[in-house]
Every structure is written in C-alpha cells, then in structure tokens.
Structure 1
Amino acid sequence: MEIEIGRMGRQEKYKLLIGCVVPRPIAWISSISAEGVINVAPFSFFNVACIDPMMISVSVGRKAGGVPKDTARNIRETGEFVVNMVDVYNVDLANQTSADYPSGISEAEAVGLTLVPAKTLKVPRIGESRIHFECKLHQALTFGEPAQADFLIGEVLHVQVADELYRDGKIDIETFAPVSRLAGHSYARIGEQFERPRPVYPAEHR
C-alpha cells in the first residue's frame, strides 16, 4: 500500500505514526509552573538526542487551537524539568496523570504521588519512579502552522538510578522492567531479547 500523506487527515496521520513507530519509551515528566504548581504527565514522543553533552528530546502535542499543554508552557517558562521513567510498577499511576486536568490542578496531588526533591533543580522527582533525568531546557522548537507541537530538547544535568537497577555500569533491564507505548490504549513490556553484534567493515576494503 502506498499512502499519500497529503490526502490524510490529522487523526489518520496520528494513527499511522503511533502504529508504525513502536515501541516508544515513555517520559513521565514533572515540571513546575511560574505559580509553583507541580505538573506531571507522560509523553511517548520521547528519545535520546545526544550523548556528550547528554541530551534527551520530547515532543509535546498542543491542544485544540494551538494551545500549549501545561508541561511545555512550564518548561519554556522555568527552563527545567525531570524525566521520570515508566516501568511495570508505576505505569498505572503514569496513565492516571495523562487525564486532561485543568491548568492550576496538580496531577501529582490529585493522584497522590510522592514528590522527592531533585539534586539540581526546583522541579521535584516522582518517588514512584526509579530512574530520573534532571534536565535544563537547551532548545525549544515549535512544529506546524498553526502550531501543533512543542519539541523540547533538555540537557541532562544529573541522573538518579535506584541501586538495584545499576550493575557493573549497566542498567539491569529485567529488574528495571520498563514499559513502552504502542498504539491506541496499548502498552508493552520487554519480551524476548536477542543480540546482533555490529559488523566491522574489513580494513582492507577501506
């Protein structure tokens, strides 16, 4: 099937992307408004952006009419946020915070999350998560005309990982038990794992 993007509506494009680009890691982002309200929300348009300096990226879709979501507005205003990783133990709480809470209402308070002070930021970590990336805003871009999404790149200032997850300089993936996003209401756990060593191009052919 050949799909002509120009003939597709927004919802059709959305379903195609989230159905094809899978699985997607979930950034459970905590941020704070200029008025001091703690906002928490999950986003699956999220990934690593650079190793050194360490940076991660997240795309936050806008509401109808091009209105920025609280997360994007907070990050633009304060310049900081925490990415708290989602796993099988906190995914239900993360999902609860995805509801469309009115601005000024703290999802953390409504859901009953444990907020833990960050090491380098005013924004707190989520205690129910076991991996945290404390970030300062490096760059913010707006996509679409009219605006459809805020693409945020954060420089990681500090990382906190639960002791039981970090072994020999690596994350123990089975103990971490991360959860990824699929399409619709579907999520996924880590299934069968396999390795494929990266091939080396023969030196004599260079």
Structure 2
Amino acid sequence: MKSIDPADLAMKENYKILTGTIVPRPIAFVTSVAEDATLNGAPFSYFNIVSADPPMISIAVQRNPSTGKMKDTSRNAAAKGEFVVHITDEDNVEKANETSASVAADVSEVEMTGLKTVSSTKVSIPALQNAKVRFECKVEKIVPLGGTEENPSCDLLIGRIVHYHLDEKVYRDNGHSDYRKLKPVSRLAGNDYAKLGELFSLERPK
C-alpha cells in the first residue's frame, strides 16, 4: 500500500491521483450566458447531486491557475444567477469535448461547434437541443474554495433545479428513468471516457 501526503505533491500530481481513482465521473455539459450575451458551453466532471429536496446539483469549476480568475461558467453564473446542465451522453460527448478548447471569453463554444439550441422554460439561458436530459438551474450558492481567502483555487456552484427536460425514451414514470436509453458517458483519467458497462444489483439491507 502506497502512503502519500498530498502536501508533498504538486497540484498536477494530486490532480492525477484524484482523476485516476475517483472514477467514473458523470459529466455536466453546462450552458451559461455572459454579460455581453455570448453563449458559453463547457463540460465539467467534478459534478454530482447535492439534494433531492429541493433538487440541487453541484459543479466544481477550477479557477485559471495562472491568473486566479473565475472561468467563464462561474463568472456567468454569478452574474446571471442561472445556468443549464445537460447530461453528457454517447451522442453529444464529442461536441462536449470540443467545447473544452481554450478560447476567448467573447467566443461562443456553442456556435463554434455548431450545436443547436432551444429556449428554456424557466430560465433565460438557452439549452442544447441534442441532449436527452437537461436541468434548468438557478444559482443557490457559489462557494469559493481552496487556495487562500483572497485567491481561491475553485468555485463550487450549487444549482437549484427549477425545471427538468427528459427525452420520452429516457423518462418512464413516477420519476424513473432508463439510463440504458440515456447512454451516459463518464470521465476517467487522461483522454479516457467510459460508457455503461456490465450492470448488477444489490438489495439494501433492512
């Protein structure tokens, strides 16, 4: 058993251990709108459920390591108070990956990759047409974390879901969804991703 103190490692080494062992990770494909109306799109695999009552999700967005500034998604969410999360699946993962390219803040990754959009129901942020699941979110809280109080290293976005959109093939009834038909894609380490593999069930003890 290898025993390591994270304080002895560089940030990149900690990153490699975390992303190589906390797997698979679901990928949030997020749209947000800048103050100049640029529609931003970006994928994030530091993503999960926070609560079901009310329904909330979390996305950790790392700050720019060289400048310490908020990335577009965090800055836009803070300014507008809204964003849309799409579940990354086999049909949109390549486009999601394309939007992770480093571009200027006034360049729309959504337009750059040719993604089509639809209007949202309860937020002002456009959504992606080719996603089987999307969550319209209002910002519940943004928590700066890591680094120092003056220069945090990331922003934890907590979004309260105010509207769901689920493909009819994915949604069954009474809140149940068919993840086999969703065909979600998860993030591993490096350039690796994973599809749904072998499934098994375990009954919870009573």
TM-score by length of 2: 0.95
**1:153 aligned partner:** 158
What percent of counterpart residues are identical?
41
| Corresponding residue SS for 2:139 | strand
**2:190 aligned partner:** 184
Measured in 2, the distance between the counterparts of 1:94 and 1:109 equals 12
Report the CA distance between 1:86 and its aligned residue. 0.6
Measured in 1, the distance between the counterparts of 2:142 and 2:200 equals 36
Aligned residues: 200
Q: Which runs of 5 or more structure 1 residues have no equivalent in the other structure? A: 201-206
**1:175 aligned partner:** 181
Measured in 2, the distance between the counterparts of 1:140 and 1:167 equals 33
- Of Structure 1 and Structure 2, the greater helix share is in 1
**1:65 aligned partner:** 67
TM-score by length of 1: 0.95
Measured in 2, the distance between the counterparts of 1:47 and 1:71 equals 16
Matched, 1:97 2:99: yes
| 1:58-111 Cα distance to aligned partner (Å, 9 max, x none) | 000111221111000000000000001110011000000010111100001110
| 1:23-57 Cα distance to aligned partner (Å, 9 max, x none) | 00000000001111100000000000001011000
**1:132 aligned partner:** 134
Q: Which runs of 5 or more structure 2 residues have no equivalent in the other structure? A: none
**2:37 aligned partner:** 36
**2:169 aligned partner:** 164
| Corresponding residue SS for 1:138 | strand
Query: After TM superposition, where is structure 1 displaced by more than 4 Å over at least 4 residues in a row?
Result: none
Measured in 1, the distance between the counterparts of 2:90 and 2:14 equals 29
**1:2 aligned partner:** 3
**1:196 aligned partner:** 202
**1:53 aligned partner:** 54
| 1:109-128 Cα distance to aligned partner (Å, 9 max, x none) | 11011010000011011011
Measured in 2, the distance between the counterparts of 1:131 and 1:156 equals 12
Of the two, which has the highest radius of gyration? 1
